[in-house]
Amino acid sequence: MVSESGVVQLPGADQAQSFYASRLHLTPGDILPAWVYAHLRTDHAGEVGAVCIYQGVLRFARDPVLRAFAEHHLATEQNHLRLISGWLPVAQHSRLLPLWQVAGFLTGALPALFGPKAVYATIEAVETFVNHHYEEQILALARQIELRNLRQTLLDCQADEVAHRDEAAAASRGFSQSGWMLRAWCAMVGAGSKAAVTLIRHI
């Protein structure tokens, strides 16, 4: 329902189902179901972390090609953060955002200390996880006609992340084969991302 000021107000719990079914074009700023906020909280925290990853890379990387790669992707992730922030009220942000900022910065900074190969492999690992993460949400929203605008936002973000993954994979192939330490690091990054998502849905 909409107040005289034009603000969408949350109906009572018994009216929620008919309320969402009657609004076929929910847009940023509208009130969304709680389960959608839980998913968007993970997306927002992930995009905050992604911005910090590239900031970490740029803090220590000296290779001009790698820096150009990071600068370009940083701009894309900043745009993703802006888009997701439009859908997620500040009150719904993860209360652990400072932790995700530090984790993101370290995820970019540490491999940057070891050179481009480590950074590209890390980005490929991160974006592989992010692609699957977005895909799960996009599938969940497939039958939610009223959330078609949100689904399109996630599809657009996913396409960018897949492009980042593929670009990092292509750049990584220009270097020697990864050693076991880098493979272990990338596995840890993937596992850590999965664990973080589980926690962020609730905190």
In three-state secondary structure terms, 29 is coil
Instruction: pLDDT band for 23, please (50, 70, 90 cuts).
Output: low
Q: Which two tokens stand for residue 160?
A: 């960018």
State pLDDT tens for residues 106-131: 999 999 999 999 999 999 999 999 99
State pLDDT tens for residues 126-164: 999 999 999 999 999 998 889 999 999 999 999 999 999
Model pTM score? 0.84
- 12 belongs to a structural domain: no
- 21 belongs to a structural domain: no
- 119 belongs to a structural domain: yes
CB-CB contact of 123 with 164 (8 Å) = yes
C-alpha–C-alpha distance, residues 114 and 95, integer Å:
32
Number of domains, the chain: 1
- 190 belongs to a structural domain: yes
For 39, the domain range is 33-200
CATH number of the CATH domain containing 113: 1.20.1260
- 154 belongs to a structural domain: yes
Q: For residue 11, what are the contacts with CB-CB under 8 A and spacing of at least 6?
A: 1, 19
- 27 belongs to a structural domain: no
First to last CA, the chain: 28
CB-CB contact of 104 with 51 (8 Å) = yes
Which of 56-65, 94-103, 175-184 is least confident? Answer: 175-184
- 1 belongs to a structural domain: no
